[in-house]
Chain A
């Protein structure tokens, strides 16, 4: 079964629609959209509403609703420079 998922780029506001298998993981979504948007190497996370998704979570666990979006957020790692 294929699930259509929309992901928003928090830095630009751009969106992309992905067709995913139920056993695709959040990490695979991050890899896919990072490559699509040619993101700089770095740490990224995905949120669904108020929930930060774990990398190993599968699409079938996300309980995506129609028109619901995921959002790709850069995960800051600085602070000591």
Chain B
């Protein structure tokens, strides 16, 4: 891997929850030096059992992105981590070399997917649900997140599983993040980011992980000819 190159690249991480904590740990310890973290939420007690960098005294003290940036910066004095307390839909800076998604809803994922693609940044999306998880790599020339979605995704598009309940449109309790699955998915996300920035061949296009059986599958995907993200050259 080309770690010198990795150190010079600008990285955007979207989401500072369970997956974001694990991904940021791996990013810093893998040698990333310029990281921006975007998240709008505040820390709530339920975050503490599955977020490496959050402490009891952080509840209500500061937004997730700010606390995460402070704590992860202590891992390496050479890293610069910029917190942005905002919805990703309100973010204006998309000048990044790679984007990692640590989100909890389809709407935000589609926003990051389309913006990363438009701005030419590879996107590595992670997702978990209990003991299962997924990593999806989106490259400039390949199928995107939206290409993998179908009617069932759009039925739940506007669900919002926010810890604070802010912006909740429709709420249905789901299994909380399971830390071992979160760690596996985060590690694979960062590994794929390093591979992409090093010019190595990443996963094409998805890895589905099943923690019950301990198995994973690499799944190939075709571009959806009707996907709006591929209408632009």
Interface set of A (CB-CB < 8 Å, partner B): 10, 26-27, 30-31, 34, 41-45, 47, 50-52, 54-56, 73-81
Contacts and interface: CB of A to CB of B under 8 A. Distances in A.
B206 A79 contact: no
B203 to A, nearest CB: 12
12 contacts: A30-B150, A30-B151, A52-B205, A54-B147, A54-B148, A54-B221, A54-B222, A78-B129, A79-B102, A79-B177, A80-B16, A81-B104
The 10 closest A-B pairs by CB, nearest first: A55-B150, A80-B17, A80-B104, A79-B19, A76-B129, A76-B127, A52-B219, A43-B153, A80-B15, A27-B151
Contacts of A76: 127-129, 132-134
Interface in B132-170: 132-134, 147-153, 155-156, 161, 163
Contacts of B103: 79-80
Contacts, number: 125
> Which secondary structure dominates where chain B touches chain A?
mixed
A34 B152 contact: yes
B176 interface: yes
Given A30-B152, A78-B174, A80-B18, A43 B219 contact: no
Contacts of B156: 41-43, 77
Most B Cβ at <10 Å: residue of A10, A43, A47: A43
Contacts of A80: 15-20, 39, 41, 102-105, 161, 163, 177
B220 interface: yes
A27 B149 CA distance: 10
Contacts of B150: 26-27, 30, 43-45, 54-56
Interface string B165-207: 0000000101111000010010000000000000000000110
A43 B106 contact: yes
